[in-house]
């Protein structure tokens, strides 16, 4: 198994653990003027997108080496 497959695991865990993390799921605190879950969710999605682009480029680079 290639190691670049592990990069998307971190943002996926961030999304899955979001409702259970106490510093994200608290009422009364604001991050950038928004509730923490409305900042944490899009941030996790953005990181997931970046990590999937990285995996795609790494896969295409290794496919080019094999041919």
Name the residue ranges covered by the structural domains of the chain: 35-67
Residues 39-65: pLDDT tens digits? 999 999 999 999 999 999 998 887 666
Question: Do 2 and 61 contact (CB within 8 A), yes or no?
Answer: no
Per-residue buried b or exposed e for 20-44, using 16+ beta carbons within 10 Å of the residue's own CB: eeeebeeeeeeeeeeebeeebeeeb
Q: Residue 67 pLDDT > 70, yes or no?
A: no
pTM of the predicted protein model: 0.82
Q: Give the DSSP H/E element, type plus range, for residue 45.
A: helix 36-66
Q: Which residue has the tokens 């497959």?
A: 5
CA separation for the pair 35, 13 (Å, rounded): 20
């Amino acid at each position: 198994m290639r190691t670049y497959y592990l990069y998307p695991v971190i943002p996926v865990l961030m999304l899955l653990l979001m409702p259970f993390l106490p510093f994200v799921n608290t009422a009364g605190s604001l991050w950038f003027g928004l509730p923490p879950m409305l900042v944490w969710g899009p941030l996790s999605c953005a990181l997931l997108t970046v990590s999937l682009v990285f995996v795609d480029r790494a896969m295409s680079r290794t496919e080019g080496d094999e041919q």
